[in-house]
Structure 1
Amino acid sequence: MHTLGRLHGRFQFQRLFLPSSFSFSSSLVSPKLTRASSTRSAGPPPSQYQATKTYSDTRSDMMIGSLLSSMSRAESFNSSMEILGRYKEPLSVFDQLQVLKAVSETSIQDKATNMKSSPLKSNEIFQKLCNDIMGDLHLFSLPDLVQLLSCFSKLRTNINPRAADTVLSLIEESGKSLSELPPQDIGSIIKSLAFFNIRTGRTELIDHIVAIVVYQLTSETFDCHVSLRRVCRGFAILGRWPKELTDPLLEYLYRSIDVMDDFSVATIIWSLQKSNIPLEDWIFEKASTLILESESTIVVSFLLWVSGKSLHYYNKEFYDKMKEILLSSDSEHWCDPRLLSHMLWMLAKVRHYDPVLLDRAAEVALPLLYRMESQSLSLFVYVYGFFNHPSPALFKALEELLVSNRSTYELQGSQAFTIILWSFLVLELYPVPLIEQVFKDEFIKVNNYLPTVLQLDNASMTNPHLSLPSLSPSQRSSILSQTLTEKPITKSKLEKNIRETLNKLLHSSKGDSSYLFNAEKLHIPEAYMPNGYSVDAEILLDANDDPIPPGNQNFKWSQAGLKQLCMEDVPVSQKRLSKIFKDTKNKGEGLYNISSGWTDGGRVAAAKRRIIIEIEGPFHYAVNIKHELGKSVIKRRQLEAFGWEFIQVPYYKWYPFRNNYKAKWEYLKRNYLQKKTIEK
């Protein structure tokens, strides 16, 4: 319907919410309305209002319709404002709302304009339009307020947040009247909350909306899936999923999923997964079917994300079929940057390594890189580092893009920027202009990926010939402390098994063939290294390949002790090490085993070989082939650069031994004494 027609159709309903004292002869209102009864009820039927049109009113409406039509065809914000500026006739507040709606629709069509630098913020005509509307909010009905909020959402970067907050307050005050709104308006409210990132507060408004949606879902005739998906997606984005909504939604989805449109199904499943709601098998079966059959790239993108996030199951046939579809020459799925990133990210989450697919994705992504948002770009690039899959052309183009638009990506999210650099690092690429940005104090303060920052600094320390930027001593100490002490301590599932085997092997090498597993330890289990890593075991051997004992067993440090050690120069003297341990040993339980790398005396001086034993379980490799993942590659590379011998124990070599202690013994003995990495 034409915008003008919708405007006429709303006039009667708009007046239902006006104060009883309001005079309809006001010059602000275009149509002159007369009321049949002076008594105002909570919801008088529209028949109580009768519109009396004059020739001037009809002419005015035609001019407004022409204005709205011209603005809807405008090519940009500026041109739409120029059209409005040339319009000299007076506008009622309701006409102004329709004008604002036309402007907001122009914002969606204007693909070439960057919303963050839009000229509307400084446009006097636009600001006057908004101010005039805000000055007459008391004239708006509840549906008008919802429409105004929707317009503000589309123009959110050009709207004062306080204006949106004022409109939200008026909507919230409507209380139970919200139940009279159509489902589309309910969905629009939640969508606007998500646009303005209202993560706290407005609980009364949300409670009313949840009650309305739950009631709608129990109705046999409810079929407004567009509204439902907006509500679900809004709650998921805000991280405010209401528990009361889960069961009714799942029940509705179960009985209606086959008649719902693909986009609504995908959005609702995505919202449930993002909100950490457990999903049943029938939902995943539907998701898999849609991924393979849907022609919508958005639907496939949403459900690929769900598949990767859930890790519900691994089905090689499913991924082979998906690969066949995506690699087909006529596939349109490659044209969507977000879909491309979600597809690869899903493969990374389930650890399905497909070099052919990655090569094809890199080829297709080259002309799309500039269109990717920071999050999509970081997910896409992360996968190449995750799988340790080189792509020279992709990373060359990526470096050029990031160097030329460095400030843009820094502003959009330091985490995304750091994730991208991690992939460069795994593939032994060192873009100096980009690394320099990561080591700035203001960048580090807002970064949650400090281990990656430390890995970048490790690369600088172990590659002096590259003249890479590096952290200052105070920065490194602070990050090292946070990296080692502020994350949960997790132990390998194989650690105890290998520790016992290793301890007996080491005692045997000294001529002790007893089965005294509680004898003096000849290695440090779960050792924390001075470069931010923790390893399953560390062994020092002398010139005769005999193990050197840790000493007085004081390698079990408290958190306070490790934090203080991080602030010291590394390595420190044995005397200083003992003093720190003595001063902090009672400040918390012993949780951390420190590596020999922290000290420069005694035991280390006598060592001719420093060996690290790392037990690599299934999550160190791709699930479909024995391909080592990037996180293991970079760890081994950097620790070897710092002077340790790195011995890997792959799970697929260790598992077959089961309880055959002798076989395990011979296996470790053969590999660590012969100075070789265990074969993969």
Structure 2
Amino acid sequence: MALITLRRNVCHLPAFWIHGAALKNQPINHVHKAVKGHHLCPWFCSQPPELFRVRFRHACCKKFHSENGNDPHPVGEPVYSQVRDWDRLEQNLKNEDEQLFIRRLNGFTSSEEVLSFISTMETLPDAVAAGALQRICEVEKKGGDRRLPKDILENSLFQALCFQFEQEPSHLSNTSLVAALHSLILLHVDPQSNLLLNLVAECQDRLKRGGLEVHNLCILGESLIRLQGPDCVTLELILYQLQGEKLETFTPEDIVALYRILQACAEKMDQHQTFLNKINNFSLSIVYSLSPKLISQMLTALVALDQTQALPLVIKLGKYVVRHITHFTNEELGRVLEAFIYFGHSDRFFTQALEQYVTTLSLTLDPEVVSKIMEYCSRKLILSKPIFDAVAESFVCQTEKFSPSQVSKLIEPFGKLNYLPPNASALFRKLENMLFTHFNYFPPKTLLGLLHSCSLIERHPVNFMAKIFSPFFLQRLQGEESYLDRLSLARLTQLFLTSVLECHFYKGPKLLPNFRVRSFLTPCCSLETPMDFQLYKSVMVGLIDLLGARLYFASKVLTPYCYTIDVEIKLDEEGFVLPFMVDEDVHQRVALCIDGPKRFCPNSKHLLGKEAIKQRHLQLLGYEVVQIPYHEIDMLKSRLELVEYLQRKLFSQRSGDHWQEG
């Protein structure tokens, strides 16, 4: 085990080349020996280099034995006291093992505490020295991805640590070597400095000799990705060696680190897919031992690597997400939800856990997490009233914390899933105030989607219709494209139809005809749900029995108002059913909405927002809307019951209605 002798190196440290201001340490009564040809390359700062003689007066310079027979102790301090303190420290080092020191390092919350701790030691095991660098990196990174503060850079002990790593990397253990390299890279050391060049060269030499263990290979791989990018040649050698190891020898942390390495090489996944398949299968056996952080990282890597064939692993990870949901950080939970959205994963246990989590912490949740939770519910069509109510309350209480994109992700699910929370008045009042204040900050498509979703649940954006129908907004919406996308045109058209049918007091500009669509039912980006074919076949058989012939009803009828009617039946003034090809003497049109499961929120009888607005608009256009939901058809046990059911639905309110004989 190599030992870094701090007192000797600090008190006999050669001159350093560094950037920035001179160190403000007071000189001590000792002649520093200059070592010719050695200097510390500029790593951290960007100012032009200036030459400074580094002199230290440090705690560890006050207590040490002189090896050349001189008496280097400060004037006025008894030599005996120094020797006694020194002997005590040496004894302490013998009595306490390295792991204890590492645990003590991990308890510190600032770089100053770390440096103060190691300053009490004359010799420092390389593992503890590497641990000190790692802890400095951890505590500094908590404040964001930034460089080290100037006072740490200029700290004599920190410089001595780095100098020793630069000069004697061959004396370090494998673990200390890769840990030091990883920490220094995270601290933004100059990649061309002697310090990093020496450490990288030593790592490469040991790698070629096959002397690095699995854990160290994983750390080295991630370090080189940060330093040189995923295309570095050494990374291929690391992956080659890792593929030769038995996965049973990997710890859970190593497996997740391996996922992160492969994630960085996602563009080369064709070369590593076979290896990745083995990792996916093996990971099923270690899911139980993963921490929330590791679960989040594994799911993120699976998304980046497009591992749609690894659904058994995703499902098993989902089960453990339920157990750990309260222990995820906001960022980790957001990544978990992103992964579930990507893989289409959901289950009632996760929904229940999410409900409890949100209702408990709704007023303290990060806005990004709130919007991500609502996006997840929207994508999976999960109408969870506890979640929606808690999120609505959160938005009302802290509206100013939400960005435009977060507001859109939060509000749109209410319209999509056709739900108004108990505080709907306060919610939409807050939303309207925010739109008045920050209208121009919303991206055009985001704003259009937000306002359209409000109209689905009869919260019509009347005060903003004039703006979104204006040529200026439409030009912004189109951007640099030669035409508007189909979904945007459909939303604009439905908003225009809403202004005509449901907002009679709106007198602003109308939507120009060239921005209107002819049909809301399209193969993609549709504002209507296609009819369930099997359900339609069942209903059609009953209608033929009831009406006597197929000619008395039409299917998939496109109206002049963009909506497609599943089944249309025409009645004359006396209530007789007319053949569907007849257009004269039509007094009443009956629109049958044959609503299959996809038109409802899953496992419920609650219509989606786009189906609710369709039925509402058809009624306003003069149609008699008759809803035929799948859950009522499923209750019927015979063809006779089906005919009687349709008889009640169509004619029970109009006893004088009849149909023509064919």
Amino acid at match of 1:503: I
Amino acid at match of 2:639: Y
Q: Contact (CA 8 Å) 2:520, 2:562: kept in 1 or not?
A: no
Write the distance in 2 (CA, Å) between the matches of 1:532 and 1:205: 60
| C-alpha spacing 1:663/1:183, structure 2 compared with 1 (3 Å) | same
Pairwise CA distance, 1:453: 2.4
Counterpart pick for 1:395 among 420, 428, 446: 428
Correspondence list, 1:651-666, <5 A: 651-658=630-637, 660-666=638-644
Residues 376-423 of structure 1: per-residue CA shift (max 9 Å, x gap): 43222122112322222122212222332222221xxx4433331222
| C-alpha spacing 1:470/1:322, structure 2 compared with 1 (3 Å) | same
SS at match of 2:591: strand
| C-alpha spacing 1:53/1:326, structure 2 compared with 1 (3 Å) | closer
SS at match of 2:557: strand
1:326 is aligned to 358
Q: TM-score, normalised by structure 1?
A: 0.56
Residues 597-646 of structure 1: per-residue CA shift (max 9 Å, x gap): xxxxxx44421111111112223333454333322211111222222221
Correspondence list, 1:171-186, <5 A: none
Correspondence list, 1:634-645, <5 A: 634-645=613-624
2:385 is aligned to 355
| C-alpha spacing 1:675/1:334, structure 2 compared with 1 (3 Å) | farther
Q: Contact (CA 8 Å) 1:523, 1:538: kept in 2 or not?
A: yes
1:427 is aligned to 457
Pairwise CA distance, 1:649: 0.9
SS at match of 2:511: coil
Q: Contact (CA 8 Å) 1:540, 1:610: kept in 2 or not?
A: yes
2:318 is aligned to 287
Pairwise CA distance, 1:495: 1.4
1:460 is aligned to 499
2:367 is aligned to 337
| C-alpha spacing 1:485/1:627, structure 2 compared with 1 (3 Å) | closer
- Asked if 1:614 is matched to 2:593, the reply is yes
Correspondence list, 1:358-369, <5 A: 358-369=388-399
Q: Contact (CA 8 Å) 1:333, 1:340: kept in 2 or not?
A: no
Amino acid at match of 1:59: F
| C-alpha spacing 1:669/1:273, structure 2 compared with 1 (3 Å) | farther
Residues 276-333 of structure 1: per-residue CA shift (max 9 Å, x gap): 6144445424323323434223333333444455554543x553444334323xx378
Amino acid at match of 2:651: L
Q: Contact (CA 8 Å) 2:408, 2:447: kept in 1 or not?
A: yes
Q: Contact (CA 8 Å) 2:618, 2:625: kept in 1 or not?
A: yes
1:505 is aligned to 546
Pairwise CA distance, 1:671: 1.4
Pairwise CA distance, 1:456: 1.0
1:547 is aligned to 577
Write the distance in 2 (CA, Å) between the matches of 1:54 and 1:320: 57
Pairwise CA distance, 1:424: 0.9
Write the distance in 1 (CA, Å) between the matches of 2:294 and 2:496: 46
Residues 417-451 of structure 1: per-residue CA shift (max 9 Å, x gap): 33312221112122245443366144144546333
Q: Contact (CA 8 Å) 2:283, 2:313: kept in 1 or not?
A: no
Amino acid at match of 1:394: L
Write the distance in 2 (CA, Å) between the matches of 1:238 and 1:471: 49
Q: Contact (CA 8 Å) 1:538, 1:610: kept in 2 or not?
A: yes
Write the distance in 1 (CA, Å) between the matches of 2:262 and 2:221: 11
- Asked if 1:52 is matched to 2:29, the reply is no
Pairwise CA distance, 1:520: 4.9
2:512 is aligned to 472
| C-alpha spacing 1:263/1:486, structure 2 compared with 1 (3 Å) | closer
2:101 is aligned to none
Q: Contact (CA 8 Å) 1:188, 1:230: kept in 2 or not?
A: no
Residues 205-229 of structure 1: per-residue CA shift (max 9 Å, x gap): 9999987986789594474567556
Correspondence list, 1:141-540, <5 A: 220-221=249-250, 223-224=253-254, 227-228=257-258, 230=260, 243=273, 246-272=276-302, 275=306, 277-281=308-312, 283-293=314-324, 294-298=326-330, 299-307=332-340, 310-312=343-345, 314-315=347-348, 318-328=350-360, 331=361, 334-390=364-420, 391-410=424-443, 414-432=444-462, 434-435=464-465, 436-437=467-468, 440-444=474-478, 445=483, 447=485, 449-450=487-488, 451-462=490-501, 463-467=503-507, 469-476=509-516, 479-480=517-518, 484=522, 490-492=530-532, 493-507=534-548, 520-540=550-570
Q: Percent identity?
A: 17
Residues 502-532 of structure 1: per-residue CA shift (max 9 Å, x gap): 233222xxxxxxxxxxx55222212233333
List runs of 5+ in structure 1 lacking aligned partners.
Answer: 1-26, 31-48, 64-71, 74-102, 111-145, 153-175, 508-518, 552-602
Pairwise CA distance, 1:244: 5.3
| C-alpha spacing 1:353/1:484, structure 2 compared with 1 (3 Å) | closer
SS at match of 1:547: strand
2:7 is aligned to none
| C-alpha spacing 1:485/1:295, structure 2 compared with 1 (3 Å) | closer
Pairwise CA distance, 1:238: 13
2:647 is aligned to 669
List runs of 5+ in structure 2 lacking aligned partners.
Answer: 1-16, 21-34, 42-48, 57-109, 112-139, 148-181, 189-206, 655-662
Pairwise CA distance, 1:372: 3.5
Write the distance in 2 (CA, Å) between the matches of 1:241 and 1:386: 42
Q: TM-score, normalised by structure 2?
A: 0.57
SS at match of 1:440: helix
Write the distance in 1 (CA, Å) between the matches of 2:612 and 2:624: 14
Amino acid at match of 1:666: E
Write the distance in 2 (CA, Å) between the matches of 1:272 and 1:386: 29
Write the distance in 1 (CA, Å) between the matches of 2:620 and 2:234: 58
| C-alpha spacing 1:243/1:192, structure 2 compared with 1 (3 Å) | farther
2:125 is aligned to none
| C-alpha spacing 1:332/1:626, structure 2 compared with 1 (3 Å) | closer
SS at match of 1:327: helix
| C-alpha spacing 1:644/1:224, structure 2 compared with 1 (3 Å) | same
Amino acid at match of 1:622: C
CA RMSD in angstroms, aligned pairs only: 5.3
Write the distance in 2 (CA, Å) between the matches of 1:454 and 1:365: 29
Q: Contact (CA 8 Å) 2:363, 2:394: kept in 1 or not?
A: no
Q: Contact (CA 8 Å) 1:522, 1:547: kept in 2 or not?
A: yes
SS at match of 1:466: coil
| C-alpha spacing 1:323/1:107, structure 2 compared with 1 (3 Å) | closer
